[in-house]
Amino acid sequence: MIMMGMRLIRTKLNNMSGGHFDYRQYHINDIALEIDEVIESNNDQTPNEWGGKKGNEYPPEIIEKFKEAAHTLRQAQEMAQRVDWLLSCDDGEDSFLRRWDEEVRGYWTKNPAQENQNAP
C-alpha cells in the first residue's frame, strides 16, 4: 500500500512528464496516503498533543470503507495519469492503450484486501 504511494511520489519527483492537469493527479494520491495513515493509526493509544488518543478507534466496518476509498482514489490517480500523458503528448494512442491495460486495468482488478496484504 505505502509502496504504491512511494512509487507514485518517486515518479512525480524523477519523471516530470505530463503536465496537462498541472500535476494535480498527485493530490488524489496524497488523499489516499492520508487515509492510509488514519487506518494505520486507528488503534494507536499514544497521547496526541492535546492529551487525547492518536487513534480514532473506528469500528472495522468503517476501516474497510476507508480501505476501499484509498484503493479507489489510487485507481483514479492512475487513470488521470494515463490521460494526462496522452493529452501532453508523452504517450501516443497505442502506448496509452497499452499502459491503460497494464497499469490501470491491472490495478483496477485488485481489491483493497489484496492491496493491504502488502502493507506493513
pLDDT tens for the chain, 120 residues long, are: 334 444 444 444 445 678 888 888 999 999 999 999 999 999 999 998 998 999 999 999 999 999 999 999 999 999 999 999 999 999 999 999 999 888 887 765 666 555 555 443
What is the number of structural domains in the chain?
1
Is residue 75 included in any domain, yes or no?
yes
Is residue 16 included in any domain, yes or no?
no
Spatial separation of the C-alpha atoms in residues 114 and 118, rounded to whole Å:
7
Is residue 120 included in any domain, yes or no?
no
Is residue 91 included in any domain, yes or no?
yes
pLDDT of residue 86: 92
Spatial separation of the C-alpha atoms in residues 108 and 112, rounded to whole Å:
10
Spatial separation of the C-alpha atoms in residues 105 and 79, rounded to whole Å:
9
Is residue 80 included in any domain, yes or no?
yes
Q: Where are the alpha helices (DSSP H) in 1-120?
A: 2-14, 25-40, 60-87, 93-99, 106-109, 112-117
Is residue 61 included in any domain, yes or no?
yes
| 8: CB partners within 8 A, 6+ apart | 26, 29, 77
- Amino acid identity of 87? L
Is residue 15 included in any domain, yes or no?
no
Domain that holds residue 53: 2-7+21-115
